[in-house]
């Protein structure tokens, strides 16, 4: 057997199944499409679910993929062992009602023994204990001796998830040899040790479980197989773990090089090396699929992985940022199978650097707070960190919970996780109540799962605003029905429709569906799996029945506004790339009839000049009256023409390319103006940051711009009216008002200081002499610190030589000041020491230089005692 590399094995597998009539498909994005049950794709089968359930028709009945996958269920163990990881690639061949057990078993055997060249004597199949059919195929057709075929029970060899399709499995184990064995008697296939590892799993989906353990044979039987690519490579390369296979070892070596450490030298160091090696792979692939670090959902998974890796870098003693450097190695090692990594390289590295910098800024403060909290725990003899404290670390310092947990665990502490969740929920509730939530649909989405999957609606809204078509299905909010009557809410499906369903960031159409006697108000239009378009709304008149012909008409004015805004986002994207650079990628967008919102990747706030330049370019292209054309072509052709594609988006075989003159070319399924001239005018109203490395522009077009200026004008007029002037003179008026305020303020200060003097009364007759040094100790209530100082200056000048002590009661507090002239200092007087001694009498403290000192106190009642004590305090100082 040759020591095939990861990249070779991937290609060998896909080529082999292609030769067996399979359609070779690229890996799907890590972001599940139309599947809310998953945060991230975690198996080769996950993105193909609609083909298995029959919700969508597969492009071919035989498909093969190498799917990038992320699993975070075992994240706590990643690094601690060499078995766990979050990122892996899954090889798979799939049959949707086509071939079954015989072919699946034969091909898996052929691939392993003939293509890869694994010694058949080291392979052991297993079957489900009741699956005699599979046993026979292995025994009679492949020729494996019965004692080498293992029968396992439901827990190991039956795939099932509650009710629904399920079936037995047949796995193939590989014997890695005695050196990996536990040497216990009875060590054989199925043993927990590292000797026999499962490399291939064939799932034969042949039954339907009704939920009560009753199984019926499925009409359409499916094959779903999976083989971990990295695990297969450990076999061909005969190495200990996935961290030793060629591509991952290259990365592991890079981690060691950056940190200046060696692998397999210190078990503690190895944990960090493996953790970083694994996490940086996940992180790189997630970013390439358009996931952005955030505090929610998959964005949070990304942030957690990234920050754990950053912290373990510190544990290894890495001082500078290092994630981007490592990511470069990930890209170099994996770009063969995933060209998108190379395409998005600049962006991936920039985003990583920004997020790492952000974390580095707060990590030291966070770690300091955490060690203080630990000290308190030790002092109080506790071992559990309060949930609120863990939440504060999360909220303020960006410490993911498992990071805090991991740090504490190393020292034997735990977290009150329930308390953490509570604190988190309180914050979420607050955030939620601050947002108004609207959900048009109201309906339980599962009602749509009851629809016949073969029903398809055609969208004709690119050409038409209204059309006649037949009703193919109706639902209420809870069930499929054959008629809807006045007052009922529901969803109408028709054969053809001009209504655009929310997608690609474009808001849904609203409008009316009518017959001669009935009317249905469409409040929302939705796209369902399998190419169905649903009109959600309410019957306002009469009754609508399936199979009858209805007239569908969209709200044209609304669509008209939406068209302008959508076309403007295309011009905007091109203008942004022109002004800011080619790192600008669309990160999200939303257009409706009122406005447009465009999120894009960029790493600093835009300057006024940049915003202005972008507006200028877009308006120029509007004036140029560019013709807008749409062409349908294959994705390869589209890429060749240089059309901009959306980040991390999975496109079908044929795509729609929207061209605006020579200026813009984008893949887009939305609706557009025929000529950019009809956009009329474009205006950016805000530019803000929404996440690290993502900016958001909100802008208006057409009538929206006029409304915007009308509003500004109204506000300007109102402001002018309030300032009792005309709009044209408003600036001058505001300037003169500010001058006036300044003058009044200085007048006010003068009056305050005069009041301070008055509060003191005629104090010069309170001057006493202590050992020949003049002392003035007096109170002046209601005077703030600054004025007390001014007052002190004046009194000291009046006094000529000597010591001035002033105390003032203001707002339940005491201000104190002491001043000593040069000659008094020579006699031994010291302002700082005087204040230090006297301030305690008013419940305060303070000090200062020999010539001037001040202090505050909390107890005005002590002022008299203070003034009485002053002569004695001075006397002690004098020679
Ligand atoms: Zn064993
Ligand atoms: Zn578009």
**Cα-to-centroid distance, 609 and ligand 2 (Å):** 26
Comparing 302 with 355, which gets the higher pLDDT?
A: 302
What string of DSSP letters covers 756-824? HHHHH-S-GGG-EEETTEEEEEEE-TT--HHHHHHHHHHHHHHH-SSEEEEEEEETTEEEEEEEE-HHH
Quote the pLDDT of residue 612. Answer: 97
**Cα-to-centroid distance, 499 and ligand 2 (Å):** 17
**Cα-to-centroid distance, 557 and ligand 2 (Å):** 19
Asked whether residue 488 carries a pLDDT value surpassing 60, the answer given is yes
What H or E segment, with its residue span, contains residue 857? strand 852-857
Q: Which of 555, 599, 548 is nearest to 576 (CA)?
A: 599
**Cα-to-centroid distance, 122 and ligand 1 (Å):** 15
**Cα-to-centroid distance, 533 and ligand 2 (Å):** 19
Asked whether residue 442 carries a pLDDT value surpassing 50, the answer given is no
Mean pLDDT of 862-871: 91
**Cα-to-centroid distance, 189 and ligand 1 (Å):** 8
Q: Which of 197, 204, 159, 155 is nearest to 180 (CA)?
A: 197
Asked whether residue 774 carries a pLDDT value surpassing 80, the answer given is yes
Torsion-angle region of residue 774: left (phi > 0), alpha (psi -120 to 50) or beta?
beta
Return the DSSP state at 644. B
Quote the pLDDT of residue 439. Answer: 31
How far apart are the C-alpha atoms of 101 and 133, rounded to whole Å?
A: 8
Mean pLDDT of 270-286: 97
**Cα-to-centroid distance, 236 and ligand 1 (Å):** 21
Average pLDDT, the chain: 90
The pairing of beta strand 773-779 with beta strand 803-810: parallel
**Cα-to-centroid distance, 630 and ligand 2 (Å):** 11
**Cα-to-centroid distance, 666 and ligand 2 (Å):** 7
Helices (H), 289-439: 297-315, 323-334, 339-343, 345-379, 387-397, 401-409, 417-433
Quote the pLDDT of residue 433. Answer: 54
Burial of 702 per CB tally in 10 Å (0-12, 13-18, 19+): buried
**Cα-to-centroid distance, 179 and ligand 1 (Å):** 11
**Cα-to-centroid distance, 503 and ligand 2 (Å):** 10
How far apart are the C-alpha atoms of 852 and 820, rounded to whole Å?
A: 6
Q: How confident is the model at residue 759 (pLDDT cuts 50, 70, 90)?
A: low
Nearest ligand atom owner, CA of 187: 1
Mean pLDDT of 614-642: 91
**Cα-to-centroid distance, 583 and ligand 2 (Å):** 19
How far apart are the C-alpha atoms of 100 and 88, rounded to whole Å?
A: 27
**Cα-to-centroid distance, 160 and ligand 1 (Å):** 28
How far apart are the C-alpha atoms of 500 and 491, rounded to whole Å?
A: 15
> Among 219-223, 422-426, 676-680, which range has the highest average pLDDT?
676-680
Mean pLDDT of 166-193: 91
* Phi, psi angle pair for 599, to nearest 5°: -100, 135
Quote the pLDDT of residue 443. Answer: 40
Quote the pLDDT of residue 432. Answer: 56
**Cα-to-centroid distance, 185 and ligand 1 (Å):** 8
What H or E segment, with its residue span, contains residue 745? helix 730-760
Quote the pLDDT of residue 366. Answer: 86
Q: How confident is the model at residue 128 (pLDDT cuts 50, 70, 90)?
A: very high
Q: Which of 290, 275, 349 is nearest to 40 (CA)?
A: 290
Render pLDDT for 500-509 as a digit per residue (tens, 0 to 9). Answer: 998 888 999 9
The pairing of beta strand 123-128 with beta strand 150-152: parallel
Quote the pLDDT of residue 760. Answer: 66
Render pLDDT for 539-551 as a digit per residue (tens, 0 to 9). Answer: 998 889 999 999 9
Quote the pLDDT of residue 648. Answer: 56
**Cα-to-centroid distance, 669 and ligand 2 (Å):** 6
**Cα-to-centroid distance, 560 and ligand 2 (Å):** 15
**Cα-to-centroid distance, 590 and ligand 2 (Å):** 10
Render pLDDT for 319-330 as a digit per residue (tens, 0 to 9). Answer: 889 999 999 999
Quote the pLDDT of residue 635. Answer: 82
Chain position carrying tokens 């030298």:
265
Global pTM exceeds 0.85: no
Nearest ligand atom owner, CA of 591: 2
Provide CB contacts within 8 A for 108, sequence distance 6+. 172, 200, 202, 225
* Phi, psi angle pair for 511, to nearest 5°: 160, -150
Q: How confident is the model at residue 650 (pLDDT cuts 50, 70, 90)?
A: low
Positive/negative CA dihedral, 127, 130, 136, 139: positive
Percentage of the residues of the chain whose pLDDT score is greater than 70:
97
The three-state DSSP-derived secondary structure of 110-176 is: HHHHHHCCCCHHHEEEEEECCCHHHHHHHHHHHCCCHHHCEEECHHHHEECCCCEEEEEEEEEEEEC
* Phi, psi angle pair for 434, to nearest 5°: -80, -15
């Amino acid at each position: 057997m040759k020591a095939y590399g990861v990249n070779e094995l991937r290609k060998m597998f896909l080529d082999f199944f292609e030769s067996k009539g399979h359609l070779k498909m690229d890996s799907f994005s890590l972001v599940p499409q139309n599947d809310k049950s998953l945060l991230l794709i975690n198996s080769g089968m996950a993105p193909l679910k609609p083909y298995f359930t029959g919700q969508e028709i597969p492009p071919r009945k035989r498909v093969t993929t190498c799917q990038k996958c992320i699993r975070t269920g075992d994240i706590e163990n990643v690094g601690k062992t060499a078995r766990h990881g979050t990122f892996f690639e899954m090889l798979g061949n799939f049959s949707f009602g086509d071939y079954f057990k015989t072919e699946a078993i034969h091909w898996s055997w052929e691939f392993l023994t003939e293509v890869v060249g694994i010694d058949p004597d080291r392979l052991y199949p297993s079957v489900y204990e009741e699956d005699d059919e599979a046993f026979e195929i292995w025994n009679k057709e492949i020729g494996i001796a019965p004692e080498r075929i293992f029968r396992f029970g439901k827990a190991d060899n039956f795939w099932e998830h509650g009710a629904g399709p399920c079936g037995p499995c047949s796995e193939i184990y590989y014997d890695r040899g005695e050196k990996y064995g536990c040497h216990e008697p009875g060590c054989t296939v199925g043993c927990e040790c590292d000797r026999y590892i499962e490399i291939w799993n064939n799932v034969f989906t042949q039954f339907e479980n009704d939920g009560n353990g009753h199984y019926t044979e499925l009409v359409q039987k499916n094959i779903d197989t999976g083989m971990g690519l990295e695990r297969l490579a450990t076999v061909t390369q005969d190495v200990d773990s996935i961290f030793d296979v060629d591509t991952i070892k290259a990365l592991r070596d890079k981690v060691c090089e950056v940190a200046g450490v060696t692998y397999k030298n210190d078990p503690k160091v190895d944990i960090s090396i493996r953790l970083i090696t694994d996490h940086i792979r996940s992180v790189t692939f997630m970013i390439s699929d358009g996931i952005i670090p955030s505090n929610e959902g998959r964005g949070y998974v990304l942030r957690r992985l990234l920050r754990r890796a950053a912290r373990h870098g510190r544990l290894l003693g890495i001082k500078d940022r290092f994630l981007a450097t490592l990511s470069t190695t990930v890209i170099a090692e994996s770009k063969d199978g995933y060209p998108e990594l190379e395409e998005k390289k600049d962006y991936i590295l920039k985003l990583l650097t920004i997020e790492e910098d952000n974390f580095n800024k707060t990590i030291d403060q966070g770690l300091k707070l955490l060690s203080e909290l630990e000290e308190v725990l030790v002092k109080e003899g506790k071992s559990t960190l309060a949930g609120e404290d863990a939440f504060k670390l999360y909220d303020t310092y960006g410490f993911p919970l498992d990071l805090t947990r991991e740090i504490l665990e190393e020292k034997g502490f735990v977290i009150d996780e329930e308390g953490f969740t509570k604190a988190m929920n309180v914050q979420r509730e607050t955030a939620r109540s601050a947002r108004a939530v609207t959900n048009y649909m109201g309906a339980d989405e599962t009602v749509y799962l009851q629809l016949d999957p073969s029903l398809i609606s055609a969208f004709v809204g690119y050409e038409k605003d209204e059309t006649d078509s037949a009703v193919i299905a109706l639902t209420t909010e809870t069930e499929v029905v054959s008629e809807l009557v006045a007052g009922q809410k529901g969803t109408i499906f028709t054969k053809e429709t001009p209504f655009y369903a929310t997608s690609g960031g474009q808001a849904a159409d609203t409008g009316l569906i009518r017959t001669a006697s009935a009317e249905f108000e469409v409040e929302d239009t939705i796209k369902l799996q399998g190419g169905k378009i649903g009109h959600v709304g309410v019957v306002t008149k009469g009754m609508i029945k399936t199979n009858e012909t209805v007239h569908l008409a969209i709200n044209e004015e609304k669509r008209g506004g939406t068209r302008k805004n959508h076309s403007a986002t295309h011009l905007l994207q091109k203008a942004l790339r022109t002004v800011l650079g080619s790192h600008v990628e669309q990160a999200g967008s939303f257009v409706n009839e009122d406005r447009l919102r465009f999120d894009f990747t960029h790493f600093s706030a835009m300057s006024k000049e940049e915003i202005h330049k972008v507006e200028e370019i877009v308006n120029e292209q509007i004036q140029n009256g560019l013709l807008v054309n749409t062409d349908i072509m294959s994705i390869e052709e589209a890429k060749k023409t240089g059309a901009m594609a959306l980040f991390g988006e999975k496109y079908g075989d044929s795509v729609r390319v929207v061209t605006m003159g020579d200026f813009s070319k984008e893949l887009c399924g939305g609706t557009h103006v025929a000529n950019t001239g009809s956009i009329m005018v474009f205006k950016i109203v805000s530019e803000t940051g929404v996440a690290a490395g993502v900016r958001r522009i909100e802008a208006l077009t057409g009538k929206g711009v006029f409304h915007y200026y009308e509003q500004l004008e109204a506000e300007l007029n109102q402001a002018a009216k309030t300032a009792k002037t005309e709009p044209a003179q408003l600036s001058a008026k505001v300037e003169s008002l500010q001058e006036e305020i300044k003058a009044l303020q200085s007048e006010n200060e003068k009056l305050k200081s005069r009041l301070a003097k008055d509060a003191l009364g005629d104090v010069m007759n309170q001057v006493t002499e202590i050992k020949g040094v003049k002392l003035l100790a007096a109170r002046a209530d209601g005077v703030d610190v600054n004025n007390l100082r001014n007052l002190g200056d004046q009194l000291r000048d009046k006094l000529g030589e000597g010591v001035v002590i002033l105390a003032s009661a203001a707002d339940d507090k005491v201000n104190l000041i002491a001043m000593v002239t040069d000659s008094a200092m020579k006699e031994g007087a010291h302002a700082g020491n005087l204040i230090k001694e006297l301030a305690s009498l008013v419940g305060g403290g303070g000090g200062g230089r020999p010539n001037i000192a001040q202090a505050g106190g909390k107890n005005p009642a002590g002022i008299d005692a203070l003034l009485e004590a002053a002569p004695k305090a001075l006397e002690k100082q004098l020679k």
